[in-house]
Homo-oligomer: A and B are copies of this chain.
Amino acid sequence: MSNGAENPAPPVVLRGDLQAPTGPVAAPRQRADALRNRAQILSAAEALFTATPHPRGVTMEQIAKAAGVGRATLYRSFPDPSAVAMALLDEHEKRLQGQMIYGPPPLGPGAPPGERLAAFYMAYLDLLRRHLPLALGAETGPARYETGAYGFWRLHVRTLLTAGGVQDPDALADIALGPLAPELYHHQLKTLGIPHERIVQALVLSARRLLNPTPP
């Protein structure tokens, strides 16, 4: 669904040519200790990101030490600290993605596009509120837009915009996602002191204005 940036992609075939008919792929067995370490890393990293006041400053050394593994072992699974945060965040995002596809309206299918967009804003901001340190730790500027997760949000919003009959949903999709940047939410909440609920309501208003032809 959305793919964090972890390394284990060994069955990569560079060109699409003649991959042997191995059936449904011979299980690329993961060794038990590797899985155990990965779990330890994720667990320790989550605590670390949550505890630090400045998630972007978390270093590979710190994560490795907290997880009780060597740095090279950590590098085997993740290329940099933000990749760890992304993997963590990805788990939470996947649940939301499921609700958006299969869940009940207004988040899931069935509601008018403006209401679905508003519901998505509400749900995503709630995710941000609960996992802000992870989101801040994962934010590496341009990398944010390259993730599978961003592609999912983008596709979803684009679909809603199309259903709403708006011009150029492709260009508008990213614009509609702009206000969800974790750094921006953090600034509003922590620096400006705007309460979560007001941010949510403001976003809901903008969703309705964007997609409802005539406001009440």
A175 to chain B, nearest CB (A): 4
Chain B hits for A146, CB < 8 A:
191
The residue on B at minimum CB distance from A150 is: B187
A186 to chain B, nearest CB (A): 7
Q: A145-B191, A205-B166 are in contact. Are A174 and B179 (CB under 8 A)?
A: yes
A171 within 8 A of B: yes
Given the complex of chains A and B, what is the CA–CA distance between A180 and B179 in angstroms? Answer: 9
Q: A171-B194, A174-B188 are in contact. Are A183 and B214 (CB under 8 A)?
A: no
The bracket for how many chain A residues form the interface is: 35 or more
Chain B hits for A141, CB < 8 A:
56, 139, 141, 183
* Interchain CB contact under 8 A, B142 and A187: yes
* Interchain CB contact under 8 A, A171 and B210: no
A14 within 8 A of B: no
Interface centre among A56, A170, A180, A214 (most CB of B within 10 A): A170
Given the complex of chains A and B, what is the CA–CA distance between A198 and B174 in angstroms? Answer: 12
